[in-house]
């Protein structure tokens, strides 16, 4: 499986580490009213869809960027790869 | 019985000795030479500060570097893109600390500079079969136009993280390996090059 | 038709003229007391024990393809009860006990073969962790032995003890562990459940659920029409999230591929089950002679039911590091299953989370060995609306309460379990 | 000898000797073992799996189900090797397998007598009485009888390579279709790889006597090969099988040296190619398939296409009197070829009532006897002697010693299914053709169901043009004006109902037509159930021959069409692949890279014994003089530190440089304790949680300058922590100004510990005044100079729990530093110590490490509950869940044996005195133990319910695994210097 890293270009997936659903980007507000429920959902609950999935990969053996990859879990076809950092604050 | 592979007789904790290994070809198809006397520093830009770093390097060293996986070489300094806003700076001088301090002074708060002269070892890889040998250890495409003189890549060599860049058309490459893994990388290349005749030079 | 020596002889002499289907092929009835979704080992075992232990016989097992088409038909057949944590250990040991009597119980030779498992260790820290586990097993009345290198060498001489990158220091052994024939387990349970009146309905995919106003789940929609059910149990392994979505459920599960491999047939070579402690590799030999081996999961979400080459290479590297005699033996076929990996690596057998609904999921890469106990406990949970002591900790709310059953200590990253 | 006097693509000038079952034979270069055996009149080559039926050679390719042998001997013995693909070399040795005592007389053949009871899946219904007999008697018996060849049981002496390749177009198969595709793409300048599993290019052109544009097919092959090999942008790989299609990657196996007695020095035996091909054309051809009739497995019965190959390509006649039995035109061509080569063709039996007049005329011209609308119902003889022909209501016995059968062709579409693509049925050719191939793959030629030579050539060229067009590369299709028109008509025919003897569907696994009938009766009707119940298609050929007839028979019984019945799934590999090839060089010591510390050479000089610590080799202990056992050395090393001073290499710790305005705030969020308040020149111990509230790692972080910090991580978690911090910095809090750099490799780090540590350091540091206790108290850090100007970082810390310093210098100075310290400490008897000694001292001091930080523990469990700050940090919220703060969770405590002579063992569990050793009474477990030379008895750390609240209580530490049951006293986990006087001294 090739992941086209925006910095490095197409690289074999074995250069990357997979973390899981890209919702892990959105860490809940620990001071929020339902923080415990929100963290429970954030840490544990997943859509786990059969279809397009936004997910986090770390290019640890390359440029060391965290990437958000949109990949179809039925076919492994990758629709997009972007830096995981929120664009407004990315480099 | 075929001759056992020479690596089988050498423990990975014993450095592979300089010299010819593998097939007794007239000339070694793959050569690996450890380069000494280099200063190496890592540059990691602050968020959004890559342009400032590029400008600072240009101002201080007259070298225009790019924020891409490429190597930009000037006199006395070359910078290899290793990640967004990240470079490995290499210079032919034997005072890594001062080199890094100089760079740090140049970039100021725009980047974090660390002396890595002892953290990495750089090898020069050449020989008529070097591409074939590298194809056994790397998964990236080294054929032009995918990879040409000036191209660089942070990638895996066998199971070792490395930075590789191409020097010329011959092709000659430079390979930068973490210090603790130089022996592992050497063995991987020796295994890959054995078929073509492998020559290791350590100075 | 009971299988017996006489029966085998008679069939042989009559050219199988009187052979009968192992299970009927009924059309779905409009309603059942219990509907089990998923005709894998767990679903079929659940139906069997519902009928046998709880006398609930108006049961349907709905399977979208053919029974055993899921992980039950694609696993590496290892059965063992060498678990560490009290939330797991008694459950898996109960499973082992059921395995030990399964042929007689089902009147089907599922080829339970207690040839033993050895988990190799390569460092003092690994030895200590195995000792903790082995002692936990012994406290639970389960057999476990810690073998030193010399004993191992006599028992399994062909491992690379000295030259390997990670020398072998010893192993934790469970002699009662071993393998069972995966397909036979599915067919044996199906045949026995069918004999007790359970309807096994293949090519019947559940595509939705019907719900009462109070939220109660009252039936399923399927590719063969709507079917009402008093109670509905999900035992769909890697597909739980897909069914959960139809119910608006989000679960602590990610589905990832696990690959397995079989070699060409060989004369007896590997005595029991062996697992490598410093690489992703484990192996056993099937009765047919194929080396059945596997290793790590492909670490990404997938429903493709196939894996990728890096894991194949990783597994074979582990194999060659451990037993360099297999270099010239050939991999014949590779395949993959969908593993429903949970956030703590342990399963869920629970009532709810809606009335009328029951969950059996989260078997990670290790639920084959659980098949009998899973069916047994799930049947109990469905019949009595409460978990049995064996599955008392395997509940969905443990992620909320923090009473996790994390054997590996890998935390909420399913691909690390 | 059945070697034809002329013809064939063998080199008669190069005779080669070989042995089969110990008997010597000879063949020629260009032969396979199978063709050479045929040329030597060897018919019986193997025994079948279940019934041990005598078997011969059925095919001429990698689809061979029968002719499997043990090739080579000694450590190189390879069971289950197909004689049909083994290239002959001088000195080749092969043995038949799965027979006893000999191939000709196999005692296990008695199994055939029991065949009525050994039907499909008989084993599931029997062997259950008595219960114990299964494992004691039946299973071992079955296992011995099953399996095919014998493994060598010796380490594989050869080595293997793996290569990565990248191309625009991969062409799989070098028959006419593949050659046309490769030539078209190669001429267009695209990067092309052409692979073929054969050792010759040409595919069926090597067999069939055809013309292309007026010249012989073989000339076309030769000219094309010459042009392809001259193209710099095109790589030709023969002996290379594309065996799997993965995401974006094709896997192929090149048999580099299998045609040699043994590989040349440093030549790999085989090479695994991982090919990133942007597009691929599959031109893998089609396979002839058998017809199911009685005795169709007898030696002497082979596929018609194979027979033709043996006759034409290898000049080896498989029979002297041959019959041909077919349902299609192609087999007629095979019959003509045999006849033209001088083999007597006694009858040509076709199931069709009509064939094209062209064929009929060709047969007539050759004087062949043709039986139309006929069938063969049974074949006889241990090796074939006669066949029974049914035609026009009569049965006729015909004496023959060879039978070429052909049930029509099946396209070789396996690779199109590796991404779950399903083949679709084509009635015209009575075969499945590719459905949805994997992305980027197209199919040409016979693999696509196009059987006419001209079509194959045109389709190959067109597919290449199409594939390159997708990539924006213009190409001109190779043009072919004329090509031989061979008949391609076929009429589906699978199974001869009149068969009276066993009719085989899957030869290798002995699956008969009757087994399919039984499976259907017992309800195993889905093709996947049929496969698993009968083992149809599960043998080493993966049903290449048997799947079609098998499912056609099932379709007929159930009254369904073939497409309704469907096929089973094709999975990689296309043909079996050596496990060694998939491992490549990563075996033995090179299984995984070995990491060496910058002080490795120094430690070796000091006589260290090394141990694998994850990827690292670390000094375990340093034996001296007369010391015989490791514990003698360790006890000495511990005493030396506690009484004087010792030094240890701690370079393996992860070291992360953090720079930026917001590092303090950043660290506050990743550690449970506060770091933003840390003063410059100080270091602090920190605990990091995962977001689920469990401990991830611990370590110290020092502040070297207002905006520059350096963190140390445990050796084991170095990469994991760096990745986690990158996630926090890049993704969670990109607004924070933090730059992370791994400096683990740059710095060598040495710890010195013991009452004399400062005295030693004072002689090495450039400014000794700076390490006075006042100037540099416990938990201080500074950047400084040692050894006369060498940049260094000094931290006042000690894992060993004594007065201690850690000194980091640039890696190349590491050994010099160690030597300088040794010299400076000589008068205090400074002692190098290893990991083992560190382990003893950290237990004495109650410091936790991997055994305790195993991912299952919380900060509370470790007694670090008070460290947690008020504000947010990763893991804070989830760490508050009831299960994690449950007072009943086992907490860290220390343990010592009540009887000082008792030994403690990690892994023991705690049970209250008087209670039974059961799970219910389990109070916790021992994580780490050691014999402490400092205290003169054993010490342990562990987790116990109640933790330090139990101090003073006595418990049993039970270890049934090793027969241990020791009375222990619960203690403070910090045994040594609990007040920290030593640390601060
Ligand atoms: C490669 C591999 C190796 C393994 N090795 C081992 C091992 O050695 N030991 C061990 O203990 N465990 C092992 N496991 C795990 C084990 O196979 C599974 O945990 C276990 O089989 C899961 O339970 P099951 O048998 O009920 O699941 P399955 O057999 O997967 O049953 C689920 C069924 O639900 C059906 N289904 C799904 N959706 C629907 C729907 N909408 N409607 C109707 N039906 C539906 C599926 O078709 C499937 O048949 C392995 C798994 C894999 C993949
Ligand atoms: N008359 C008929 O009915 C009939 C039927 C079928 C084929 N044919 C003839 O056969 C020829 C078909 O041409 P073609 O080019 O399609 O096929 P081919 O059979 O000539 O060539 C296929 C090639 O692919 C190779 N191959 C197969 N699988 C491979 C794999 N996985 N990896 C590497 N190599 C692999 C084979 O070794 C072979 O050389 C034509 O001449 C055609 O006329 C005729
Ligand atoms: C324990 C075990 C042994 C197997 N042995 C064989 C075998 O000898 N030959 C074979 O072709 N497949 C074998 N298989 C694999 C199956 O053919 C099949 O690939 C697997 O059940 C997954 O199904 P699928 O490939 O149809 O998706 C075996 C599978 C298992 C689980
Ligand atoms: Zn990258």
- Structural domain including C199 reads 22-77+182-252+344-410
Which ligand sits closest to the CA of C71?
1
Q: Would you say residue C337 lies in a domain?
A: yes
D289-295 average pLDDT score: 98
For ligand 2, atom 8: residue with the closest CA: D451
Do C237 and C352 fall within a single domain?
yes
> Which among D162, D598, C316, C308 is positioned nearest to B188, based on CA atoms?
D162
pLDDT band at D799 (very low <50, low <70, confident <90, very high): very high
Last residue within a domain, chosen from C304, C326, C341: C341
Last residue within a domain, chosen from B115, B132, B165: B115
> Which helix (H) or strand (E) covers residue D958, if one does?
strand D954-959
Nearest CA in chain C to D520: C21
| Subunit contact D883:C404, Cβ cutoff 8 A | yes
Per DSSP, the three-state class of D299 is: coil
D541-562 average pLDDT score: 97
Give the span between the Cα atoms of B13 and D609, in whole angstroms: 12
CA D434 / ligand 2 centre spacing (Å): 15
Q: CA separation (Å) from D44 to C145, D21, D39, D793?
A: 49, 11, 13, 78
Residue D562 structure tokens: 């073939």
Chain C: nearest CA to D623, how far in angstroms?
19
| Subunit contact B156:A61, Cβ cutoff 8 A | yes
User: Which pLDDT score, from 0 to 100, does residue A87 have?
Assistant: 62
Residue B174 sits in a domain whose CATH number is 3.30.1360.120
On average, the pLDDT of chain B sits at: 96
Helix then strand then coil, in percent of chain B rounded to 5, is 30, 35, 40
Residue C319 sits in a domain whose CATH number is 3.30.9.10
User: Which pLDDT score, from 0 to 100, does residue B4 have?
Assistant: 60
Give the span between the Cα atoms of D495 and D513, in whole angstroms: 8
Average confidence (pLDDT) per 10 residues, chain B, 203 residues: 71 95 96 97 97 97 97 96 98 97 97 98 98 97 97 97 98 98 97 97 91
Give the span between the Cα atoms of D535 and D509, in whole angstroms: 7
Give the span between the Cα atoms of D599 and D835, in whole angstroms: 14
D455 touches ligand 2 (CB under 6 Å): no
Residue C393 sits in a domain whose CATH number is 3.50.50.60
Give the span between the Cα atoms of D147 and D80, in whole angstroms: 10
D470-487 average pLDDT score: 96
Q: Would you say residue C123 lies in a domain?
A: yes
Q: Quick one: how many helices (H) and strands (E) in chain C?
A: 11, 18
C247-252 average pLDDT score: 97
Give the span between the Cα atoms of D236 and D257, in whole angstroms: 16
Nearest Cβ partner for D590 among B4, B178, B187: B187
User: Which pLDDT score, from 0 to 100, does residue D95 have?
Assistant: 98
**Residue D1 in this model has a pLDDT that exceeds 70:** no
Give the span between the Cα atoms of D505 and B15, in whole angstroms: 58
User: Which pLDDT score, from 0 to 100, does residue D935 have?
Assistant: 97
Give the span between the Cα atoms of D619 and D648, in whole angstroms: 9
Q: Would you say residue C85 lies in a domain?
A: no
Residue D335 structure tokens: 């019959």
Atom number of ligand 1 nearest to Cα C78: 8
Contact B124, B173 (CB under 8 A): yes
Do B128 and B172 fall within a single domain?
yes
Q: Would you say residue C89 lies in a domain?
A: no
What is the number of domains present in chain B? Answer: 2
Do B123 and B25 fall within a single domain?
yes
Q: Would you say residue C391 lies in a domain?
A: yes
Nearest CA in chain C to D586: C317
Chain A: nearest CA to D734, how far in angstroms?
6
Do B124 and B172 fall within a single domain?
yes
Last residue within a domain, chosen from C341, C358, C390: C341
Nearest CA in chain D to A43: D692
Domains and CATH numbers, chain A: 1-22+50-91 (3.30.2270.10)
Do B125 and B196 fall within a single domain?
yes
Percent of chain D with pLDDT over 90: 96
**Residue A91 in this model has a pLDDT that exceeds 50:** no
What is the number of domains present in chain C? Answer: 2
| Subunit contact C415:A18, Cβ cutoff 8 A | yes
**Residue D129 in this model has a pLDDT that exceeds 90:** no
For ligand 2, atom 34: residue with the closest CA: D196
Cis amide leading into D404 (omega within 30): no
Do C351 and C323 fall within a single domain?
no
D938-961 average pLDDT score: 98
Do B91 and B51 fall within a single domain?
yes
Q: Would you say residue C404 lies in a domain?
A: yes
Percent of chain C with pLDDT over 90: 95
Nearest CA in chain C to A72: C302
D59 touches ligand 2 (CB under 6 Å): no
Which ligand sits closest to the CA of C372?
1
User: Which pLDDT score, from 0 to 100, does residue D340 have?
Assistant: 97
> Alpha helix (H) ranges present in D810-881?
814-824, 835-845, 876-879
Do B87 and B60 fall within a single domain?
yes
Contact C92, C373 (CB under 8 A): yes
pLDDT digits (tens, 9 = 90+) for C90-100: 999 999 999 99
Do C219 and C352 fall within a single domain?
yes
Do C145 and C259 fall within a single domain?
yes
Give yes or no for A13 touching B (CB within 8 A): no
Do B110 and B170 fall within a single domain?
no
Start-to-end Cα distance in chain C: 43
Q: CA separation (Å) from D195 to B100, D184, D189, D284?
A: 51, 15, 18, 10
> Which helix (H) or strand (E) covers residue B131, if one does?
helix B130-137
Q: Would you say residue C2 lies in a domain?
A: no
Do C214 and C312 fall within a single domain?
no
> Which among D402, D384, D249, D251 is positioned nearest to D325, based on CA atoms?
D402
Do B27 and B123 fall within a single domain?
yes
Do B48 and B103 fall within a single domain?
yes
Last residue within a domain, chosen from B115, B144, B176: B115
Give the span between the Cα atoms of D134 and D122, in whole angstroms: 14
Percent of chain C with pLDDT over 70: 100
Q: Would you say residue C87 lies in a domain?
A: no
For ligand 3, atom 7: residue with the closest CA: D538
pLDDT digits (tens, 9 = 90+) for A17-49: 999 999 999 999 999 999 999 999 999 999 999
For ligand 1, atom 53: residue with the closest CA: C337
Query: What is the widest separation between alpha-carbon atoms in chain C?
Result: 67
Q: Which of D337, D445, D463 to mutate to test the pocket of ligand 2 (most atoms within 8 A of CB)?
A: D445
> Which among C306, C22, D487 is positioned nearest to A73, based on CA atoms?
C306
Residue B98 sits in a domain whose CATH number is 3.30.70.1520
Q: Which of D269, D595, D605, D731 has the most B C-beta neighbours within 10 Å, making it the best mutation to test the interface with B? A: D595
D251-274 average pLDDT score: 97
Nearest Cβ partner for D876 among A30, A58, A76: A30
Do B18 and B48 fall within a single domain?
no
> Which among D865, D866, D864, D842 is positioned nearest to D927, based on CA atoms?
D842
Do C284 and C311 fall within a single domain?
yes
Give yes or no for B68 touching A (CB within 8 A): yes
Place of tokens 């002080």: D599
C273 touches ligand 3 (CB under 6 Å): no
Start-to-end Cα distance in chain B: 35
- φ/ψ (deg, to 5) at D836: -65, -45
**Residue D606 in this model has a pLDDT that exceeds 70:** yes
Alpha carbons within 13 A on the beta-carbon side of D76: 18
- Structural domain including B71 reads 39-115
D9-26 average pLDDT score: 98
Nearest Cβ partner for D265 among B3, B47, B192: B3
Do C326 and C264 fall within a single domain?
yes
Do C166 and C189 fall within a single domain?
no
Which ligand sits closest to the CA of D239?
2
| Subunit contact C251:A19, Cβ cutoff 8 A | no
Give the span between the Cα atoms of D295 and D499, in whole angstroms: 9
C206-215 average pLDDT score: 97
Give yes or no for A47 touching C (CB within 8 A): yes
Q: CA separation (Å) from B139 to D165, D270, D629?
A: 8, 19, 46
| Subunit contact B161:A8, Cβ cutoff 8 A | no
pLDDT band at D146 (very low <50, low <70, confident <90, very high): confident
Last residue within a domain, chosen from B115, B132, B158: B115
Do B127 and B30 fall within a single domain?
yes
**Residue A89 in this model has a pLDDT that exceeds 50:** no
**Residue C165 in this model has a pLDDT that exceeds 50:** yes
Q: For chains A and C, what is the number of CB pairs under 8 angstroms?
A: 66
Residues contacting ligand 1 via CB (< 6 Å): C 37-43, 62-65, 69-72, 74-78, 205-206, 235-239, 243, 258-260, 294, 337, 339, 363, 365-369
- Chain C positions touching A21 (Cβ under 8 A) are 254, 301
Chain D: nearest CA to B152, how far in angstroms?
17
User: Which pLDDT score, from 0 to 100, does residue A88 have?
Assistant: 54
pLDDT digits (tens, 9 = 90+) for D225-254: 999 999 999 999 999 999 999 999 999 999
User: Which pLDDT score, from 0 to 100, does residue C163 have?
Assistant: 81
Contact D946, D764 (CB under 8 A): no
Q: For chains A and D, what is the number of CB pairs under 8 angstroms?
A: 65
Do B47 and B26 fall within a single domain?
no
| List of residues 6+ apart from C266 with CB closer than 8 A | C285, C289, C290, C291, C329, D79, D80, D147, D148, D149, D150, D151
């Amino acid at each position: 499986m090739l992941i086209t890293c925006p910095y490095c270009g197409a690289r074999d997936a074995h250069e990357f580490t997979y973390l899981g659903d890209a919702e892990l980007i959105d860490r809940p507000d620990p001071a929020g009213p339902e923080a415990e429920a929100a963290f429970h959902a954030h840490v544990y609950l997943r859509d786990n869809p059969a279809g397009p999935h936004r997910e986090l990969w770390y290019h640890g053996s390359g440029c060391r960027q965290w990437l958000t990859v949109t990949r179809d879990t039925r076919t492994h076809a990758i629709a997009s790869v972007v830096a995981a950092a929120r664009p407004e604050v990315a480099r | 019985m075929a001759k056992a592979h020479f690596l089988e007789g050498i423990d990975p904790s014993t450095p592979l000795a300089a010299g010819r290994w593998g097939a007794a070809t007239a000339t070694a198809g793959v050569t690996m030479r450890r380069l000494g006397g280099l200063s190496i520093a890592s540059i990691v830009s602050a968020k959004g500060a890559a342009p400032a770093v590029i400008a600072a390097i240009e101002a201080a060293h007259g070298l225009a570097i790019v924020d891409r996986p490429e190597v930009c070489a000037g006199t006395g300094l070359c910078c290899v893109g290793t990640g967004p806003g990240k470079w490995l700076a290499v210079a032919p001088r034997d005072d890594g600390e001062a080199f890094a301090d100089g760079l740090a002074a140049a970039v100021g708060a725009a980047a974090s500079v660390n002396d890595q002269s002892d953290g990495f070892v750089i090898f020069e890889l050449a020989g008529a079969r070097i591409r074939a040998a590298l194809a056994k250890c790397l998964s990236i495409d080294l054929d032009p136009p995918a990879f040409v003189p000036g191209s660089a890549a942070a990638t895996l060599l066998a199971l070792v993280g490395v930075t590789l860049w191409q020097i010329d058309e011959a092709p000659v490459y430079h390979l930068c390996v973490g210090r603790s893994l130089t022996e592992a990388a050497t063995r991987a290349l020796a295994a890959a090059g054995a078929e073509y005749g492998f020559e290791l030079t350590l100075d | 038709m009971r299988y017996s020596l006489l029966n085998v002889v008679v069939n042989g002499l009559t050219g199988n003229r009187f052979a009968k289907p192992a299970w009927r092929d009924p059309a779905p009835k409009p309603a059942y007391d219990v509907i089990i979704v998923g005709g894998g080992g767990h679903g079929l075992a659940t139906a069997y024990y519902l009928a046998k232990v709880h006398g609930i016989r108006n049961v349907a097992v709905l399977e979208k393809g053919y029974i055993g088409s899921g992980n039950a038909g694609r696993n590496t057949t290892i059965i063992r009860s060498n678990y560490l944590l009290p939330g797991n250990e008694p459950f898996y040991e109960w499973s082992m006990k059921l395995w030990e009597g399964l042929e007689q119980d089902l009147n089907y030779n599922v080829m339970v073969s207690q040839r033993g498992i050895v988990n190799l260790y390569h460092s003092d820290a690994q030895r200590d962790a195995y000792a903790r586990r082995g002692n936990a097993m012994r406290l639970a009345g389960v057999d476990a032995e810690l073998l030193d290198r010399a004993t191992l060498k006599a028992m399994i001489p062909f491992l690379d003890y000295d030259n390997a990158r990670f020398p072998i220091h010893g192993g934790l052994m469970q002699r009662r562990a071993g393998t069972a024939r995966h397909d036979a387990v599915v067919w044996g349970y199906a045949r026995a459940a069918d004999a007790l009146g359970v309807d096994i309905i293949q090519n019947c995919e559940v595509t939705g659920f019907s719900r009462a106003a109070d939220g109660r789940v009252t039936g399923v929609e399927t590719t063969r029409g709507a079917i009402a059910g008093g109670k509905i149990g999900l035992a769909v392994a890697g597909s739980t999230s897909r069914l959960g979505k139809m119910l608006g459920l989000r679960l602590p599960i990610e589905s990832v591929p696990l690959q397995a491999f079989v070699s060409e047939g060989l004369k007896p070579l590997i005595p029991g089950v062996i697992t490598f402690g410093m690489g992703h590799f484990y192996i056993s030999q099937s009765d047919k002679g194929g080396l059945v081996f596997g290793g790590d999961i492909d670490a990404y979400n997938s429903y493709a039911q196939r894996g990728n080459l890096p894991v194949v290479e990783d597994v074979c590297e582990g194999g060659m590091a451990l037993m360099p005699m297999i270099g010239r033996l050939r991999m014949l076929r590779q395949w993959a299953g969908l593993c429903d990996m949970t956030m703590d690596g342990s399963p869920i057998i629970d009532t709810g989370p809606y009335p009328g609904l029951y969950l059996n999921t989260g078997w990670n890469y290790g639920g084959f060995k659980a098949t009998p106990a899973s069916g047994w406990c799930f049947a109990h949970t469905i019949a009595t609306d409460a978990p049995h002591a064996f599955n008392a900790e395997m509940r969905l709310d443990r992620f909320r309460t923090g009473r996790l059953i994390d054997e590996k200590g890998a935390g909420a990253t399913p691909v690390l379990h | 000898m059945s070697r034809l006097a002329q013809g064939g693509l063998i080199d008669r000038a190069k005779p080669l000797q070989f042995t089969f079952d110990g008997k010597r034979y000879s063949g020629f270069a260009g032969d396979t073992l199978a063709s050479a055996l045929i040329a030597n009149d060897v018919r019986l080559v193997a025994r079948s799996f279940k019934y041990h039926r005598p078997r011969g050679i059925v095919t001429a390719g990698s689809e061979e189900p029968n002719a499997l042998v043990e090739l080579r001997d000694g450590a190189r013995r390879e069971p289950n090797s197909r004689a049909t693909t083994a290239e002959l070399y001088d000195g080749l040795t092969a043995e038949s397998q799965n027979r006893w005592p000999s191939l000709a007389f196999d005692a296990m053949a008695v199994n055939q007598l029991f065949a009525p009871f050994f039907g499909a899946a008989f084993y599931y219904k029997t062997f259950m009485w008595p219960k114990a007999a299964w494992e004691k008697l039946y299973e071992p018996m079955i296992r011995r009888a099953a399996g095919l060849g014998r493994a060598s049981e010796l380490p594989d002496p050869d080595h293997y390579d793996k290569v990565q390749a990248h191309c625009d177009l991969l062409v799989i198969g070098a028959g006419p279709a593949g050659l046309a595709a490769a030539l078209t793409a190669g001429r267009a300048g695209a990067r092309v790889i052409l692979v073929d599993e054969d050792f010759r290019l040409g595919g069926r052109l090597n067999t069939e006597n055809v013309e292309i544009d007026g010249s012989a097919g073989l000339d076309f092959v030769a000219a094309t090969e010459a042009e392809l090999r001259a193209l710099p942008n095109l790589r030709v790989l023969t002996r290379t099988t594309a065996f799997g299609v993965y995401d974006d990657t094709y896997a192929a196996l090149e048999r580099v040296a299998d045609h040699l007695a043994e590989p040349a020095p440093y030549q790999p035996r085989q090479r695994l190619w991982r090919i990133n091909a942007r597009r691929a054309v599959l031109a893998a051809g089609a396979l002839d398939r058998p017809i199911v009739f009685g005795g169709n497995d007898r030696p002497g019965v082979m596929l018609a296409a194979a027979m033709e190959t043996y006759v034409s390509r290898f000049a080896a006649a498989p029979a002297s009197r041959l019959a041909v039995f077919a349902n299609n035109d192609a087999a007629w061509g095979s019959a003509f070829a045999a006849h033209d080569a001088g083999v007597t063709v006694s009858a040509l039996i076709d199931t069709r009532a009509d064939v094209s007049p062209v064929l009929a005329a060709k047969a007539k011209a050759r004087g062949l006897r043709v039986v139309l609308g006929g069938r063969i119902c049974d074949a006889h003889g241990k090796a074939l002697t006669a066949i029974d022909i049914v035609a026009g209501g009569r049965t006729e016995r015909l004496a023959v010693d060879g039978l070429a059968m052909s049930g029509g062709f099946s396209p070789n579409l396996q690779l199109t299914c590796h991404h779950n693509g399903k083949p679709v049925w084509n009635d015209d050719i009575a075969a499945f053709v590719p459905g949805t191939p994997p992305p980027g793959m197209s199919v040409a030629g016979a693999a696509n169901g196009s059987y006419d030579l001209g079509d194959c050539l045109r389709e190959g060229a067109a597919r290449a043009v199409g594939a390159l067009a997708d990539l924006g590369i213009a190409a001109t299709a190779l043009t072919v004006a004329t090509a031989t028109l061979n008949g391609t008509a076929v009429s589906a025919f699978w199974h001869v109902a009149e068969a009276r003897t066993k009719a085989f569907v899957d030869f290798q696994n002995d699956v008969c037509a009757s087994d399919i009938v039984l499976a259907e009766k017992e309800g195993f009707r889905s093709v996947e159930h049929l496969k698993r119940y009968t083992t149809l298609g599960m043998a080493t050929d993966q049903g290449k021959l048997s799947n079609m007839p098998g499912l056609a028979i099932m379709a007929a019984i159930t009254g369904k069409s073939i497409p309704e019945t469907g096929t089973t799934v094709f999975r990689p590999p296309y043909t079996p692949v050596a496990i060694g090839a998939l491992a490549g060089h990563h075996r033995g010591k090179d299984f995984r890279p070995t990491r060496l510390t910058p002080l490795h050479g120094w430690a070796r000089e000091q006589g260290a014994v090394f141990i694998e610590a994850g990827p690292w080799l670390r000094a375990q202990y340093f034996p001296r003089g007369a010391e015989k056992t490791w514990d003698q050395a360790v006890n000495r090393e511990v005493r030396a530190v506690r009484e004087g001073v010792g030094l240890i290499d701690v370079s393996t710790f992860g070291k992360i440089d953090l720079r930026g305005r917001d590092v303090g705030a950043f660290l506050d969020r990743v550690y449970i304790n506060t770091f933003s308040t840390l003063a410059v020149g100080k270091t602090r111990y920190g605990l990091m949680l995962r977001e689920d509230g469990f401990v991830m790692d611990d370590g110290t972080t020092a502040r070297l300058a207002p905006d520059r910090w350096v963190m140390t991580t445990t050796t084991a978690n170095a990469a994991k922590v760096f990745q986690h911090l990158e996630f926090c910095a890049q993704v969670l809090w990109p607004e924070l100004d933090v730059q992370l750099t791994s400096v683990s490799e740059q710095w060598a780090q040495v710890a010195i510990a013991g009452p004399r540590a400062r005295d030693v350091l004072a002689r090495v540091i450039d400014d000794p005044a700076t390490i006075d206790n006042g100037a540099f108290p416990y938990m201080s850090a500074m950047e400084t100079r040692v050894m006369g100007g060498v940049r260094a970082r000094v931290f006042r810390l000690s894992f060993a729990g004594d007065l201690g310093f850690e000194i980091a210098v640039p890696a190349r100075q590491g050994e010099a530093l160690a030597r300088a310290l040794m010299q400076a400490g000589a008068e205090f008897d400074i002692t190098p110590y290893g990991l083992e000694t560190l382990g003893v001292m950290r237990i004495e001091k109650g410091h936790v490490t991997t055994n305790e930080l195993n991912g299952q523990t919380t900060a509370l469990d470790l007694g670090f509950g008070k460290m947690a700050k008020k504000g947010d940090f990763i893991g804070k919220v989830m760490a508050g869940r009831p299960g994690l703060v449950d007072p009943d969770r086992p907490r860290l405590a220390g343990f010592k044996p009540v009887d000082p002579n008792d030994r403690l063992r990690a892994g023991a569990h705690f049970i209250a005195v008087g209670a039974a050793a059961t799970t219910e009474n389990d109070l916790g477990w021992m994580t780490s133990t050691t014999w402490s030379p400092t205290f003169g008895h054993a010490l342990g750390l562990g987790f116990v319910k109640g933790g330090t609240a139990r101090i003073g209580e006595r418990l049993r530490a039970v270890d049934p695994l090793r027969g241990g049951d020791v009375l222990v006293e619960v203690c403070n986990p910090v045994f040594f210097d609990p007040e920290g006087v030593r640390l601060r001294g």
